[in-house]
Chains A and B, each alone.
Chain A
């Protein structure tokens, strides 16, 4: 019994996105599709416990959910002669169920439509993230709420509003045309990367990394690669996430942040690194490199270094320079300056950071002060370094990061 339940849950995790995507295409409503899928899973559990697991569990559930959709539509139709609210719906008659042999049935993969609809720019970013995790990630509303440290009601409300806007403003359920595809795809990638970063940087809460969100983002990244294998950006994004995530166990020890330089490289996830490195190679060969490929290439150089001293900093600085041209931002400029300093040109790096500071906009960013402090420390300008650490501590919000900065400051004052 427990085996059947576990197997059903595995199917749900792995297949619910694909099943839901197909159901939404058929009925044109997120709510109806979700309801039908939930009911079908309940029937599956009951039936499988008696008859055992079918050969193709996903197809079984798809067929059962489809039947439930048709039943629901029939009930609706007898209730009302005509209804405009069903406008989105394709007549059930177009899908004759008699043809469906549950074990053999295959159904088309509509997840790409679902991704583009969930990440439509007419939805706000928060809604895009919640909807993507809920429908494609197969996470429950409480799980998503927990991951984002939000009250469940807030998240539920967000999902309801998003689904209502899709329905009422009629956001299309389709893959955008070729001329719109690049901009729409980068919106999708941005959502996936945002989910990853929310897990990785964990701007609030006491855990530095919320691995569940990272794992979910990686899973979504894999789906993107699977559905659009020709796109180098997708592969770059997946590689970038894998390479960052490979360091998760080394990033904090006993609740203290450990910088890249000080990390125990022995606990880096070798499997994730190998996959990430292989992806970077193919991503860079897939055509002109975009921001994700470049960032993945930078992460790959870190991953390749067995010891911190072996890091190819000049190459990293060069890549940051390319990235800076592509997407100018103060944060990337800061990383570039730090890479310049690490490649042996500490004075030049510090000079670049000071210049960035003079241009303004970074005063409230704790990493700016932390990076400046670090370079001042390396140049043995201890008093200035201590002052900069103080500013960074005042601005940092994550308790683990604050702890790290305080440790640095103490070392400086002791030495």
Chain B
């Protein structure tokens, strides 16, 4: 099953210092490399900060364009991974390896199965 791992991070106005930034980049690099080597990686990308976000809501046939992200919350979506693995436990293992502090301070990972599943071949579930 394909899972999207949504990386949420708390944006701090000052961002990260160079050393911390390098450490987190290296952390993502390791996860990406490992996931690619195991053949489970389908994609992973960071997002630009929420100050660049634009939200569009169509109401009565008219597009309402709003500056900012969908929801004003403490933690913002900072990037994503798409991985293809057997089950939720595997996805949780990957999620636990992903750094979540890329935008300032520690956040969390939300795991969501992708609905449009690829044809799945039986037998992988033990």
Contact = CB atoms under 8 A, between A and B. Distances in A.
A9 interface: no
Contact of B122 (A89, A168, A172, A176): A89
Interface in B103-121: 111, 113, 117, 119-120
A120 B1 CA distance: 18
B1 A91 contact: no
Contacts of A88: 122, 125
A60 B89 CA distance: 34
B113 to A, nearest CB: 5
A172 B119 contact: no
A120 B126 CA distance: 17
A91 B92 CA distance: 27
B47 interface: no
B123 A170 contact: no
A88 B87 CA distance: 10
Interface in A73-96: 82, 84, 87-91
Nearest to B117: A84
B87 A171 contact: yes
B22 to A, nearest CB: 30
Contacts of A169: 88, 111, 113
Contact of A170 (B88, B119, B122): B88
Contacts of A171: 87-89
A122 B96 CA distance: 14
A171 B91 CA distance: 10
A28 B122 CA distance: 10
B87 A122 contact: no
Interface string B12-39: 0000000000000000000000000000
B92 A170 contact: no
Query: Size class of A's contact patch?
Result: 10 to 19
B75 interface: no
A171 B113 CA distance: 11
A134 to B, nearest CB: 21
B122 A84 contact: no
B126 A170 contact: no
A29 B14 CA distance: 50
A89 B123 CA distance: 8
Interface in A59-112: 82, 84, 87-91
B88 A174 contact: no
A172 B125 contact: yes
B97 to A, nearest CB: 14
A172 B92 CA distance: 11
A90 B123 CA distance: 6
Query: Size class of B's contact patch?
Result: 10 to 19
A200 interface: no
B67 to A, nearest CB: 34
A173 interface: yes
Identify the interface centre among A82, A120, A172: most chain B CB within 10 Å of its CB.
A172
A176 B89 contact: yes
Contacts of B125: 28, 88, 90, 170, 172-174
Contact of B117 (A87, A89, A120, A180): A87
Contacts of A28: 125
Identify the interface centre among A82, A90, A170, A172: most chain B CB within 10 Å of its CB.
A170
B126 A172 contact: yes
Contact of A122 (B88, B120, B122): B88
Nearest to A165: B88
A302 B122 CA distance: 54
Contacts of A120: 88
A174 B86 CA distance: 12
Nearest to B86: A172
A394 B95 CA distance: 46
Interface in B63-97: 86-89, 92
Contacts of B89: 171-172, 176, 180
Nearest to B112: A169
Contacts of A173: 125-126
A28 B123 CA distance: 10
B115 to A, nearest CB: 9
B113 A168 contact: yes
B87 A84 contact: no
14 contacts: A28-B125, A84-B119, A87-B117, A87-B122, A120-B88, A170-B87, A171-B87, A171-B89, A172-B86, A172-B87, A173-B125, A173-B126, A174-B125, A174-B126
Interface of B: 1, 86-89, 92, 111, 113, 117, 119-120, 122-123, 125-126
Given A169-B88, A171-B87, 17 more contacts: A28-B125, A84-B117, A84-B119, A84-B120, A87-B1, A88-B122, A88-B125, A89-B122, A122-B88, A170-B87, A170-B88, A172-B86, A172-B87, A172-B89, A172-B125, A173-B126, A174-B125
Name the 9 nearest CB pairs between A and B, nearest first. A87-B120, A172-B87, A170-B87, A174-B126, A171-B88, A169-B88, A170-B1, A172-B89, A84-B117
